[in-house]
Structure 1
Amino acid sequence: MIQFSKTAVLLAAGSALALGACSRSAPDELPPPPVGTTGPDTTPTYSGPPPGSREDFLANTASDTIFFETDSHDIDPEDRAILDSQAAWLVANPGVRVTIEGHCDERGTREYNLALGERRANAASNYLAARGVDASRMTVISYGKERPIALGSDAASWAQNRRAVTVVPM
């Protein structure tokens, strides 16, 4: 006859109980939901970009960029329409801060273009502030001719580089 110690018998019995607990099948019927719940999740889902994001800004404004004539920081009617759409978005998203970048074409000295780029960025910022955007939410920076978007040395390239860009951080 084989003799078992008490420890071995207890270990075997504990293992059998543990394995038996794992093999339990699911109940045929689920219990009712907790009191105070209304059923399926009714949290709204967004199919577009997250509200207040850079993608939302780009999707819901006419453009993030306005363009200027040579040696000018005047805002024309087309620019006003773009800035009006930006202002409406910024007023609807009061927690968003933006940077307005001023840019120039390659002609002129570095110092002149930095000053002109700042005037362009300030013109856009002042227009947005006049449309209800809090000035403390806007930062202005001039890149002068240091960050061209078009690399040619012709009138078409220069026209693309004379701009102010409203940047919503990622």
Structure 2
Amino acid sequence: MAISAPLNTALRAFAMLLFVVAIAACSRTPNAMPTGVGNLGPGGGAPGSQQEFLVSVGDRVFFETDSSNLTPTAMATLDKQAAWLNQYSNYRIMIEGHADERGTREYNIALGARRASIVVNYLTSKGVNGQRITSQSFGKERPVAICNDISCWSQNRRAVTVVQ
């Protein structure tokens, strides 16, 4: 049995409307926490949790091309990291140094090491016990973005603080 074109169009429109209503109904959970991640509460996690550090403080700082100098934005993030780490002294951290894919492997390993070292030095200057910190350079071996463009390169020029 063939369905007429106007009826077919109406059925498709009705199906689309049902789909949109279903998606909209799922997008809001009654009594959900207004902030945070899931049911972790305001700030993105229980106070002193690794999740709180990641969401509320931030785990990475970025660098300019061929540079291991901290930008004002990076220093602001590291100030928040130092305050959190000084408050929750039970955690050890690893600072990972990274570079974008341009340049040789050896150059990028050395650049990543300089970036990690500058972050370690900054955190210790803010009172974080150096015995709690280790560092490692990954150079260009662990990109978070892959493309041949500044938008990817800028994401890969970073130092990441991993709470252990």
Same fold per superposition (TM over 0.5)? yes
**What residue identity is the alignment partner of 1:163?**
R
- What is the CA deviation profile of residues 12-60 of structure 1, one whole-angstrom value per residue up to 9, with x for unaligned ones? xxxxxxxxxxxxxxxxxxxxxxxxxxxxxxxxxx856344321021233
**What residue identity is the alignment partner of 1:110?**
R
**What residue identity is the alignment partner of 1:89?**
W
Equivalent position of 1:72 in the other structure: 67
Q: Distance in 1 between the 2:93 and 2:142 partners?
A: 18
Match status 1:118 vs 2:113: yes
Structure exhibiting the larger radius of gyration computed from Cα positions = 1
Equivalent position of 1:41 in the other structure: none
| Counterpart secondary structure, 1:88 | helix
| Counterpart secondary structure, 2:119 | helix
Equivalent position of 1:158 in the other structure: 153
Match status 1:96 vs 2:97: no
TM-score by length of 2: 0.71
Which residues in structure 2 correspond to 1:6-25 (within 5 Å)? Answer: none
**1:96–1:137 CA contact under 8 A, matched in 2:** yes
Structure (1 or 2) with the greater helix fraction: 2
TM-score by length of 1: 0.69
**1:150–1:157 CA contact under 8 A, matched in 2:** yes
Equivalent position of 1:37 in the other structure: none
**1:117–1:142 CA contact under 8 A, matched in 2:** yes
Which residues in structure 2 correspond to 1:32-43 (within 5 Å)? Answer: none
Number of aligned residues? 123
- What is the CA deviation profile of residues 83-126 of structure 1, one whole-angstrom value per residue up to 9, with x for unaligned ones? 00000000000111011100000011111100100100111111
Unaligned runs of 5+ in 2: 1-39
Q: Distance in 1 between the 2:140 and 2:55 partners?
A: 28
Equivalent position of 2:53 in the other structure: 57
**1:124–1:164 CA contact under 8 A, matched in 2:** yes
Q: Distance in 2 between the 1:129 and 1:144 partners?
A: 23
Q: Distance in 1 between the 2:150 and 2:59 partners?
A: 22
**What residue identity is the alignment partner of 2:98?**
H
Q: Distance in 2 between the 1:71 and 1:59 partners?
A: 28
Residue identity (%): 54
**1:118–1:141 CA contact under 8 A, matched in 2:** yes
The structure-2 alpha-carbon separation of the partners of 1:94 and 1:70, relative to structure 1 and needing over 3 Å to count, comes to: same
